[in-house]
Amino acid sequence: MRPLVPVVALVLLAVCVLAGLMIGAARLPLRGVVLELLDLVPFVSVDSGLSPIERGLLLQLRMPRVVLAAVVGGLLAMAGAGYQGVFRNPLADPYLLGAAAGAGFTATLMIVLVQADGLVPLAAFGGAIGGVLLAYALGNTAARGGGTATLVLAGVAVASFLSALQAFVQQLKVEQLQRIYSWILGGIGGDWSQVWLIAPYAVVSAAVLIAHGRLLDVLSVGDDEATSLGVNAARVRLVVLCAASLATASAVAVSGLIGFVGIVVPHAVRRLAGGSYRVVLPISLLAGAAFLVLADLVARTALAPAELPIGVVTAFIGAPFFVAVLRATRTVEA
């Protein structure tokens, strides 16, 4: 690992977090924010100079939103890197196997039929996991062992089918379309309960993915070579896909569908830090966190007091980047 890469990633994340905590409808002083954060450290007691209102704004509104954006961004970026390692394709993303379509379908069902907003995260989580499991089962059934190409095709089929079901359900209650599209376009809330809701899944999925970085490096040379080195390629793929899908489902449950993070961040990290997944996975976690904190800052300040859906912001950044990646890939192949 290039020694400056993790340092730069940590500094970038710290700068984005501080900007997210300071900037908003009411600006908070840098010194006060830093001192208030230090006061949260065990056995450290300092006076930040913030008023009770400013302290409440920082700790109860800004901080949970920034922390949630960081967790969601890190999970999506790391999941994208995991998918790219399994499929050996830099254009793979966390929604490749139907997680987005499954989450969108079940969330739409909850919004339209049950009209229980509090159950939408749970429904989205279950739908994302269900979509991936359905694609994996279909891929294995179609080709005994489930090659990666078959798995991708199964993901496309499942996503298309669930998207069609979602469109049908939407037509049942046209008056709910605004709420549905608001969820689909993504958004970061400001509630600590959402942070604690996904924290266990985030820790488990991140730990499993980082632990498999070396094995993904071995898989990158080919299945035959990996087998000769004593690596069970099928098992490694299954474990990584499960961990990446768990990370994706956790993120989708609390933020809706936020696109391009899983493509843009891992690809940029790979360009800057090298192709080893022992580096790409942890740095993607940090860079993805910084990226989404910054995107959320833009979403809530660009048209203040109105707020943009964060998925729109990431699409503005990610779509041109995606085109650039396609052009670069075509140039290399030529």
List pLDDT tens digits, range 66-76: 999 999 999 99
In this structure, the number of other CB atoms found within 10 A of the CB of residue 314 comes to 25
- Spacing of C-alpha 251 from chain mean position: 6
What confidence score (pLDDT) does residue 169 get?
86
Q: Is the pLDDT of residue 40 over 70?
A: yes
Give the model's confidence band at 57: pLDDT under 50 very low, under 70 low, under 90 confident, else very high.
very high
Q: Which pLDDT value is given to residue 320? A: 82
Provide the pLDDT for residue 2.
65
What are 269's two structure tokens? 């990290």
Per mean pLDDT, which range of 138-142, 232-236, 305-309 is the poorest? 138-142
Statement: residue 144 has pLDDT above 80: no
Q: Please write down the HEC assignment for all residues of 82-107.
A: HHHHHHCCCCCCCCCCCHHHHHHHHH
Q: Do 249 and 125 touch, CB atoms closer than 8 A?
A: yes
Q: How many domains does the chain have?
A: 1
Supply the Cα-derived Rg of the chain in whole angstroms.
Answer: 20
Check residue 145 and give its pLDDT.
Answer: 52
How confident is the model over 205-228, as a mean pLDDT?
88
Q: What are phi and psi of 44, to 5 degrees?
A: -115, 130
What pLDDT, on the 0 to 100 scale, is given for residue 42? 87
* pLDDT of 332 strictly over 90: no
pLDDT band at 25 (very low <50, low <70, confident <90, very high): confident
For the ranges 65-74, 92-101, 108-117, the lowest mean pLDDT is seen at 108-117
Closest by CA to 261, choosing from 64, 74, 11, 100, is 74
What pLDDT band is residue 280 in, cutting at 50, 70 and 90?
very high
Inform me whether the pLDDT recorded for 330 exceeds 60: no
Give the CATH number, domain containing residue 229: 1.10.3470.10
| Residue 92 reports pLDDT greater than 50 | yes
Is 334's pLDDT higher than 60?
no
pLDDT reported for residue 281: 95
How far apart (Å, rounded) are the C-alpha atoms in residues 326 and 21? 35
Phi, psi (rounded to 5 degrees) for 173: -135, 80
What average pLDDT does this structure show over 148-170?
88
Q: What is the mean pLDDT of residues 197-217?
A: 93
Where residue 274 falls among pLDDT bands split at 50, 70, 90? confident
9-18, 31-40, 184-193: least confidently modelled range: 184-193
Beta strands in 102-182 (DSSP E): none
Residue 115: HSE in the Cβ half-sphere, 13 Å Cα cutoff: 5
pLDDT of residue 171: 83
What does the pLDDT look like over 229-263, one tens digit per residue? Answer: 888 888 998 899 999 999 999 999 999 899 889 98
pLDDT band with cut points at 50, 70 and 90 for residue 295: very high
| pLDDT for the residue numbered 288 | 95
pLDDT for residue 39 is more than 80:
yes
Range of the domain at 28: 4-333
| Beta carbons of 311 and 185 less than 8 angstroms apart | yes
Task: With beta carbons less than 8 A apart as the criterion, state whether 21 and 28 touch.
Answer: yes
User: Tokens 């930040």 appear where?
Assistant: 48
Phi, psi of 185 (to 5 degrees): -75, -5
Average pLDDT taken over every residue of the chain: 87
